[in-house]
Amino acid sequence: MGPPAQSMLGAMVFRKHKFKEIPQTTYPLACKRFIRGFCETANIQINNDLLLPTTKKVGCVITAMNESVTLQTQLNELARLPFQEIIVVINGSSDDSYEVTRNHPSKATIIHFDAALGYDVGRAVGAKVSESDMLLFLDVDMSIGVDLLLPFIYEVEKGAVTLNYGLQAEPLPNLRNE
């Protein structure tokens, strides 16, 4: 089951069973168990182990400059969610960030600039080419687990316009615990 089909499954389940009422700390485990049980029963091979807590098309824009190691790790992590699209804006890189992205199974859209544009321009370019209803913007200075990204999608689904998250050693309590 690929991302579009799994995303549709997620949207259907989300609407019918009101996953909005599941505490954020329980949501990832509930998704994994639901998907695994559903797909085993239907004899379907799964690609992702989480459902998006929204009926909207969700995409991710990643800006990268000489961060191939963390880029690989982040793309691996993002593969756990059925994103509509992943866009990687590589700018000013002299490492193998382009090859890492091109060879990754996520089949991300790559936008490559030889010159360093900075993160803001990279984000703007990624947003311009996106066809998603909702976008997550990531910089790959460090890899972020999708379990930490789900609360952002959830808050935007509830009506938030923009959210910023300053990563700390421990997750912010109001994002992980309800």
Q: What is the pLDDT of residue 168?
A: 39
Whole-structure pTM value: 0.73
Amino acid at 58: V
The domains of the chain, with CATH numbers, are: 3-41 (no CATH), 58-176 (3.90.550.10)
Q: Percent helix, strand, coil in the chain (nearest 5)? A: 45, 15, 40
- Confidence bin at 127 (pLDDT 50/70/90): very high
- Confidence bin at 95 (pLDDT 50/70/90): very high
Span 22-74, pLDDT tens digits: 666 676 677 677 777 877 887 877 666 677 888 889 999 999 999 999 999 99
- Least confident piece of the model among 8-22, 27-41, 115-129: 8-22
In angstroms, the CA 166 to CA 39 distance is 36
Asked whether 143 and 60 are in contact (CB, 8 A), the reply is no
Residue 33 vs residues 66, 81, 105, 178: alpha-carbon distances, Å = 37, 14, 24, 21
- Least confident piece of the model among 58-62, 131-135, 138-142, 146-150: 146-150
Average pLDDT over residues 127-140: 93
Q: Residue 119's Cα: distance from chain center in Å?
A: 18
Mean pLDDT over all residues of the chain?
79
